[in-house]
Structure 1
């Protein structure tokens, strides 16, 4: 009976030890759970605090960037207004060019009514044509400037829309981040329940640097457009001033040229007779020169006939005597030289005839001018002067 009792006692002690182990293990596990709960709670609170700090910093970054964008937007809005004013000035300048161009074209048209022999391309014509070129050039430049202003306005407005869109997005992001800051564990379940939105992969997300670069690029582009617009307005100021100066300067040049032409026309009446006498004398001399040239041609042709006759006669020598001797070479060279002389003399005759025709044309022109000076004087001194009277008041 003693052996079974001992075994039973040992078994009971073993069960007690096992139970003690399990109880101790359970106590340790509970302690671990308490530690884990405290750690996770502390970690979550720390992370929430970090979240609030990061969100607060993010809001500050957005606010800073928003102020920068607003400043740039204000600048672009002001620049658009200034550029619109410049555009109006360019349009008025274009309109102001129409009347001077019409007057210039009328003056050219009136001067074309002179008799054909008087329609020479004199200095007054050149100045009028130059004035037309100056005005048409100014119109062309102003039109191009107007196109550039229109394009720059389009770019400025496009930049304004881009900045406004960026500001709207910044405002929306700031509202969302502010809402995130206000949210906490005690917020209503409707706020805490996540919406079913597709989470962006990190590789597809915009990094803070990229986010900052987007607005920096927008502001840099806006700054560039502002610089371009400022340069364009300065260019327009210079252009408007320069075109007005050039047109006024050319108008003065035309007036001076017309006045000088009037004086020249009056003086020409007393000079035509002298010029006619000189031309008649030169024409007679040219006629005598032509006669002398024709006489020289006849003499050269006679000598050419002599040389050719000698060559023909020498061809009758016996075959054994048909030698290319110095005499034969001399005769051949003589024929060649005489032909060259005759060619030059005939060219001189043709030139002399051309000179005579030119002198005859000059004579006819002088004869016509003597009768037409009064008509030309009336056009330049009366009609053109009356047409150009408004231009004397300046542009």
Structure 2
């Protein structure tokens, strides 16, 4: 039948089985005209009608299902968009709440940093004042007091007080420097916390802007695009618990640093008060020792001046006494010459007249008495001259001591005490 349909016949009439097509002689014949029966025609028409009805029923079911799916997907899309909008609004509210908490903590950090900056300025001013004012003046006082001369170059209570004052100043500087280091470290930690809070606020503000921008979009916007990549469209890998823990950690860290900074201010207040009290105590003690030493020096100087005045008067009296002794010796020379001359003349008597008579004895006693008186006067003149030399030497020593006391008073009362007035201790 197949060969007849395609118009291929075997010319020889032998069967085709077992032969090769290339070895056969083929003749192409036109197909015969199709002829169907009336039953086949009716059956074919009925089959076409049934197929058409089946396809129409299938189309009706498809149309109904499509309408249902359209309505369902539209409703689902609307519900999902409303749900997403509501959750984005809730998320924006949560982020804004955390943002307000962070802003409050940031404000506390800024206020604490401003307060610590004031305390840092106070510490720096105090250290600068101690270094350039108090310590310099105390050391200069010690240096000036080395300019005392003579017996006044003594290690007295003033020098001990100055040494203790310098030790107190250096100790106060050491305490203030350590407090300043702690303050700088706390300020550094506060700045670090503020940086983390600022970064978190920046991230949260960016998230709020993104969510608000997403919330304002509509399905009819022209800026919409469809992602056709292969990777996940949602790259988020941080859970809500981790996010809350991160924000809470930043808030707790900021609050902890602010809480840690407040005791430092109390400590610095107490330290400044203690240091200033110690410095004022050492200052008043040193000034008291200066006053006492100045009083002692003035008393000694006044006593030396009185002694100098008395010595000067004694020198004048001794000089007058020496003049009187010299006059007395000069007066004795005439009497001595007269007595010796008389004895010499009476020694020229001759014979029995050279007798020890009362006049001779009287002249002899007169000569002895004049000799003894002259020796006494010369001895007294020698002692008077020696005493005058000692008095003059004492006068010079007194004048030197008075000058030494005047130099000491100038150093202690004028130079040192004038400088110490500039030593300013206050609470800073």
TM-score category of the 2 structures, normalised to the smaller one: 0.5 to 0.7
Matches within 5 A, 1:37-48: 37-48=70-81
Give deviations 1:230-255, integer Å, cap 9, x for gaps.
22222222222221111001112223
Specify whether residues 158 and 22 from structure 1 end up closer, same or farther in structure 2 by C-alpha distance, changes over 3 A only: same
Matched with 2:256 is 224
Which of 1 and 2 has greater Rg? 2
Give deviations 1:269-303, integer Å, cap 9, x for gaps.
xxxxxxxxxxxxxxxxxxxxxxxxxxxxxxxxxxx
**In the alignment, does 2:184 pair up with 1:150?**
yes
Specify whether residues 122 and 40 from structure 1 end up closer, same or farther in structure 2 by C-alpha distance, changes over 3 A only: same
Deviation for aligned residue 1:65: 1.8
Matches within 5 A, 1:118-129: 123-129=157-163
**In the alignment, does 2:139 pair up with 1:105?**
yes
Matched with 1:249 is 281
| 1:255 aligned counterpart, secondary structure | helix
| 2:264 aligned counterpart, secondary structure | helix
Distance in 1 of aligned mates of 2:123 and 2:84: 57
Partners of 1:259 and 1:381 within 8 A in 2:
no
TM-score, structure 2 normalization:
0.55
Deviation for aligned residue 1:48: 0.5
Distance in 1 of aligned mates of 2:232 and 2:403: 90
Distance in 2 of aligned mates of 1:77 and 1:199: 44
- Alignment size in residue pairs: 290
- From 44, 60, 65, the counterpart of 1:27: 60
| 2:220 aligned counterpart, secondary structure | coil
Specify whether residues 124 and 182 from structure 1 end up closer, same or farther in structure 2 by C-alpha distance, changes over 3 A only: same
**In the alignment, does 2:271 pair up with 1:239?**
yes
Gaps of 5+ in 1: 269-371
Partners of 1:73 and 1:160 within 8 A in 2:
yes
Distance in 2 of aligned mates of 1:8 and 1:394: 131
Distance in 1 of aligned mates of 2:401 and 2:269: 45
Deviation for aligned residue 1:136: 1.1
Matched with 1:182 is 216
Deviation for aligned residue 1:391: 4.1
- From 59, 83, 106, the counterpart of 1:50: 83
Distance in 2 of aligned mates of 1:196 and 1:129: 85
Distance in 2 of aligned mates of 1:28 and 1:85: 83
Distance in 2 of aligned mates of 1:76 and 1:95: 28
Matches within 5 A, 1:300-311: none
Distance in 2 of aligned mates of 1:160 and 1:182: 32
Specify whether residues 101 and 377 from structure 1 end up closer, same or farther in structure 2 by C-alpha distance, changes over 3 A only: farther
Matches within 5 A, 1:120-139: 123-139=157-173
Partners of 1:134 and 1:246 within 8 A in 2:
yes
TM-score, structure 1 normalization:
0.59
Matched with 1:95 is 128
Give deviations 1:301-347, integer Å, cap 9, x for gaps.
xxxxxxxxxxxxxxxxxxxxxxxxxxxxxxxxxxxxxxxxxxxxxxx
Deviation for aligned residue 1:53: 0.3
